[in-house]
């Protein structure tokens, strides 16, 4: 297909968009169909116990409930902003559950599901969105780095970290999350280059959720994103990002590969951002309800639920208990956010430097004296 | 190895060697730093002695160099990265300003970023465009970074030791046109604190404050002024973030006049900050406004014009005269 006709296809937008430059659907690793039927893949397979399957379902449901609560809290003015992961639960839970505790994760600002898998308290994710800190957790506690807002920067941090892992002779792996928009960033391309030439044990996990705020994926790339890996000299694969089993299987294989010293791999999880970019965004200005409806039919949670039900792996009691757990989580988050105090103004000066800095000391003292000048009760 | 005469480039090399020897977490990274030993040979021989795993030739991508150094620091390493020339640092500026400088605060102090970024800077070597700039103020303006520049071999050695030992990111500006200036280096000495300024020549009439390559220029100006009966004090600032204002203040209280000299453009430069702070601290001691001598608000000129652009002895003395005449 000529370039011209490809452009014509692209301009139609909507679901046709993902036809991509080659003019045909790229292969997608899928282990669970949207209807909830298990299918086999020649290269990637997975064998999970009923408990593990129910665990993945639980993770996705709780993450979605947490996400919904965060949106509500933003609407109520308790958070300044929220970046919803709605629709991306399978990509995040599948990949997150593929990581080992000694692996290290470098997220964007939307990896709430991955954070959940790593054991980061959901409440801790909300501090930065409430505006009480710029990152409220110790990255080394769960090997889950802070959220990174500037697009794509963390791909380099992950690569450097992975270079360090290799130097240490450890068999851990590193995973860098980013999106389709970030794939245009120079830092992501440089990360691919560094990871490739140093054979770093890092998995690049791109959630292609089809939209970078208002810009569709074809504004970022003329080839399917996973195919870019070939140009850097490492494998890339596209996985059904709404299929938690496929995401788990592929990410697990990619991480194992990295641990074996076989270098980086790019996983493109083909998914959809069901919500707006953030609570400040209005997605109706740039995409159609039809497109959203099409993806709703591929919902990651509904398809696993269909499978669990068909196979008799989950009963009403399980679902009822999970409902109760979800509501308890939402309540804990709601209460926790509302109780989150504003930081002390003097926190401005904390941790600017690890070894101190004369100017910060001077300004801290001046500001403290200024604050103290109101101490006679006049307020300020 | 105690007292030894060595060039600034060699002193940095020795300091890196010492760091690589004493701390297995120290890494040297950059373009051409390995087999070639750097375009200025500052890292000469290090890869041969410490191996490719510790002295790392990187892809030609400055953001990648700093970004991966951040990741290595998070893993517990202490990378010393080289940006080949001053004008090439800007592809890495985002990683330095947005990530490196802020990550410790963002993590509420839970992670440290002991990364040293070496940047050969300044003009006077007849180079093509982008090889002669002085961007130090662009970094000193950013909270979370520390910015230093040695002016002599002993400081080059010790300030590198201290920068590597520091748990904060340090931008270490190397005065490239002085790389081959030799000086005594006592590697057993107890060095002054990294961010302290130093009076390098005492005088009573006017204080000259400078750092990096301009310290030598100011010392020459002071020697010339002495012949005219003027006594100039020269302060080597050594650190642009933080700035040791106490040492500057003590000097200005004595001389009552201050001229700040740097190659960088004066507009919103280090000298502007020094002028503001010293005016605040020494308002009733000053006999003249703080004057600045530096680059113009114009792109660094082609090499045939750089002697006109760079502050030299005459422009420094012209400012001294203006300060004295005020």
Which of these, B177, B83, B169, lies nearest to B127 by C-alpha position?
B177
Q: Do residues B204 and B280 both lie within one domain?
A: yes
Q: Do residues B203 and B137 both lie within one domain?
A: no
Q: What is the pLDDT of residue B3?
A: 73
CB A239 within 8 A of CB A28: yes
> How many Cβ atoms from other residues are within 10 Å of residue A309's Cβ?
13
- All residues of chain A having their beta carbon less than 8 Å from the beta carbon of residue B53 are 167
Q: Do residues B219 and B150 both lie within one domain?
A: no
**Dihedrals φ, ψ of B170, to 5°?**
-125, 125
Taking CB atoms and an 8 Å limit, are A139 and B105 in contact across chains? no
Residue at a domain's end among B129, B162, B186: B186
Residue at a domain's end among B156, B186, B216: B186
Instruction: State yes or no: is A273 an active-site residue.
Output: yes
Answer whether residue A305 is part of any domain: yes
Whether A10 shows a pLDDT value over 60: the answer reads no
Domain count across chain A? 2
Residue A369, domain extent:
344-380
Q: Tell me the pTM.
A: 0.95
The token duo for B123 is 């003009």
| CATH number of the domain enclosing B152 | 3.40.50.970
| CATH number of the domain enclosing B307 | 3.40.50.920
Interface test with B, best of A102, A147, A190 (most B CBs within 10 A): A190
**Dihedrals φ, ψ of A203, to 5°?**
-105, 125
Q: Do residues A59 and A157 both lie within one domain?
A: yes
Q: Do residues A371 and A234 both lie within one domain?
A: no
The pLDDT confidence band at residue A24, using thresholds 50, 70 and 90, is low
Find where tokens 């007849």 sit.
B126
Interface test with B, best of A124, A169, A200, A355 (most B CBs within 10 A): A355
- All residues of chain B having their beta carbon less than 8 Å from the beta carbon of residue A165 are 75
Q: Do residues A86 and A232 both lie within one domain?
A: yes
Taking CB atoms and an 8 Å limit, are A351 and B108 in contact across chains? yes
**What is the four-CA torsion angle of A153, A157, A162, A164, rounded to 10 degrees?**
160
Whether A353 shows a pLDDT value over 50: the answer reads yes
Taking CB atoms and an 8 Å limit, are A157 and B99 in contact across chains? yes
Instruction: Please give the average per-residue pLDDT across B279-300, as a whole number.
Output: 98
Q: Do residues B176 and B259 both lie within one domain?
A: no
Answer whether residue A8 is part of any domain: no
Q: Do residues B54 and B106 both lie within one domain?
A: yes
Average pLDDT over all residues of chain A: 93
Q: What is the pLDDT of residue A26?
A: 73
CB A38 within 8 A of CB A307: yes
Taking CB atoms and an 8 Å limit, are A194 and B70 in contact across chains? no
- Of the candidates B61, B107, B144, which has its C-beta nearest A190's C-beta? B61
Q: Do residues A303 and A366 both lie within one domain?
A: no
Q: Do residues B131 and B259 both lie within one domain?
A: no
Give the pLDDT confidence of B112-142 residue by residue, as tens digits. 999 999 999 999 999 999 999 999 999 999 9
| CATH number of the domain enclosing A247 | 3.40.50.970
Whether A157 shows a pLDDT value over 80: the answer reads yes
| Interfacial A residues in 134-163 facing B (CB < 8 Å) | 134-140, 145-146, 148, 150, 153, 155-163
The token duo for A54 is 């129910």
Residue B281, domain extent:
198-325
Closest residue in A to B68 (Cα–Cα): A160
Q: Do residues B62 and B205 both lie within one domain?
A: no
- Of the candidates A160, A186, A190, which has its C-beta nearest B71's C-beta? A160
Give the pLDDT confidence of A163-208 residue by residue, as tens digits. 999 999 999 999 999 999 999 999 999 999 999 999 999 999 999 9
Whether A22 shows a pLDDT value over 60: the answer reads no
User: Distance (Å) from the C-alpha of residue B61 to the closest C-alpha of chain A?
Assistant: 7
Q: Do residues A298 and A376 both lie within one domain?
A: no
Q: Do residues B180 and B230 both lie within one domain?
A: no
Give the pLDDT confidence of A203-227 residue by residue, as tens digits. 999 999 999 999 999 999 999 999 9
Q: Do residues B114 and B219 both lie within one domain?
A: no
Domain count across chain B? 2
Q: The complex's ipTM?
A: 0.97
Give the residue numbers of B annotated as catalytic, written as ranges: 131
Answer whether residue B77 is part of any domain: yes
Answer whether residue A9 is part of any domain: no
- Of the candidates A150, A167, A350, which has its C-beta nearest B98's C-beta? A150
Q: What is the pLDDT of residue B78?
A: 98
Q: Do residues B166 and B233 both lie within one domain?
A: no
Name the catalytic one among A97, A130, A252, A273: A273
Q: Do residues A129 and A180 both lie within one domain?
A: yes
Rounded Cα gap, residues A123 and A83, in angstroms = 15
CB proximity A190 to B under 8 Å: yes
The pLDDT confidence band at residue A11, using thresholds 50, 70 and 90, is very low
The pLDDT confidence band at residue A18, using thresholds 50, 70 and 90, is very low
């Amino acid at each position: 297909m000529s370039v011209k006709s490809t452009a014509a296809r692209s301009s139609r937008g909507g679901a046709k968009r993902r036809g991509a430059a080659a003019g045909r659907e790229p292969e997608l690793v899928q282990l669970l169909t949207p209807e909830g039927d298990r299918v086999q893949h020649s290269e990637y397979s997975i064998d999970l116990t009923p408990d593990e399957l129910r665990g993945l379902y639980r993770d996705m449901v709780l993450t979605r409930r947490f996400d919904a609560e965060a949106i509500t809290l933003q609407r109520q003015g308790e958070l300044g902003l929220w970046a919803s992961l709605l629709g991306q639960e399978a990509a995040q839970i599948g990949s997150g559950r593929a990581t080992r505790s000694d692996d290290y994760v470098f997220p964007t600002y939307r990896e709430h599901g991955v954070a959940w898998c790593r054991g980061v308290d959901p409440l801790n994710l909300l501090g930065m969105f409430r505006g009480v800190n710029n990152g409220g957790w110790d990255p080394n506690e769960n090997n889950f780095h802070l959220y990174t807002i500037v697009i794509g920067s963390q791909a380099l941090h992950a690569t450097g970290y992975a270079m360090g892992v290799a130097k240490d002779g450890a068999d851990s792996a590193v995973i860098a999350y980013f999106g389709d928009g970030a794939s245009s960033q120079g830092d992501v391309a440089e990360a691919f280059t560094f990871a490739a030439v140093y054979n770093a044990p890092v998995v690049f996990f791109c959630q292609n959720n089809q939209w970078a705020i208002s810009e569709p994926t074809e504004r970022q790339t003329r080839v399917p994103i996973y195919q870019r890996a070939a140009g850097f000299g490492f494998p890339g694969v596209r996985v059904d990002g709404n299929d938690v089993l496929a995401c788990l299987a592929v990410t697990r294989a990619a991480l194992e590969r990295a641990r074996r010293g076989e270098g980086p791999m790019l996983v493109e999880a083909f998914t959809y951002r069901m919500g707006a970019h953030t609570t400040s965004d209005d997605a109706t200005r740039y995409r159609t309800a039809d497109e959203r409806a099409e993806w709703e039919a591929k919902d990651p949670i509904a398809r696993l639920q269909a499978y669990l039900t068909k196979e008799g792996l989950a009963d009403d009691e399980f679902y009822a208990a999970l409902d109760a757990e979800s509501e308890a989580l939402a309540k804990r988050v709601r209460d926790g956010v509302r109780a989150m105090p504003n930081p002390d103004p003097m926190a401005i000066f904390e941790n600017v430097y690890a070894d101190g800095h004369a100017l910060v000391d001077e300004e801290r003292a001046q500001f403290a004296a200024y604050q103290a000048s109101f101490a006679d009760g006049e307020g300020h | 190895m105690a007292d030894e005469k060595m060039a600034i480039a060699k002193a940095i090399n020795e300091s890196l060697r010492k760091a690589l020897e004493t701390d297995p977490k120290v890494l040297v990274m950059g373009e051409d730093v390995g087999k070639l030993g750097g375009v200025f040979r500052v890292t000469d021989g290090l890869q041969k002695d410490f191996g490719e795993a510790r002295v790392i030739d990187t892809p030609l991508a400055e953001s990648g160099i700093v970004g991966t150094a951040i990741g290595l620091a998070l893993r517990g390493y202490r990378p010393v990265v080289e940006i080949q020339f001053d004008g090439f640092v800007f592809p890495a500026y985002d990683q330095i300003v947005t990530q490196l400088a802020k990550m410790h605060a963002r993590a509420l102090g839970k992670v440290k970023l002991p990364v040293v970024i070496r940047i050969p800077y300044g003009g006077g070597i007849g180079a093509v465009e982008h090889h002669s700039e002085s961007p130090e103020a662009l970094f000193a303006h950013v909270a979370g970074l520390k910015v230093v520049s040695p002016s002599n071999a002993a400081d080059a050695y010790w300030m590198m030791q201290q920068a590597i030992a520091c748990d904060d990111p340090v931008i270490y500006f190397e005065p490239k046109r002085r790389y081959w200036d030799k000086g005594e280096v006592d590697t057993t000495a107890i060095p002054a604190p990294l961010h302290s300024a130093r009076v390098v020549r005492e005088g009573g009439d006017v204080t000259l404050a400078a750092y990096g390559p301009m310290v030598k220029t100011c010392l020459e100006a002071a020697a010339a002024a002495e012949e005219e009966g003027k006594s100039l004090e020269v302060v080597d600032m050594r650190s642009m973030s933080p700035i040791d204002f106490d040492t500057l203040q003590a000097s200005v209280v004595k001389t009552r006049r201050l001229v700040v000299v740097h190659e960088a453009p004066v507009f919103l430069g280090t000298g502007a900050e020094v002028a503001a702070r010293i005016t605040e601290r020494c308002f009733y001691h000053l006999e003249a406004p703080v004057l600045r001598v530096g680059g113009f608000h114009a792109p660094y000129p082609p090499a045939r014009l750089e002697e006109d652009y760079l502050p030299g002895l005459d422009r420094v003395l012209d400012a001294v005269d203006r300060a004295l005449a005020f």
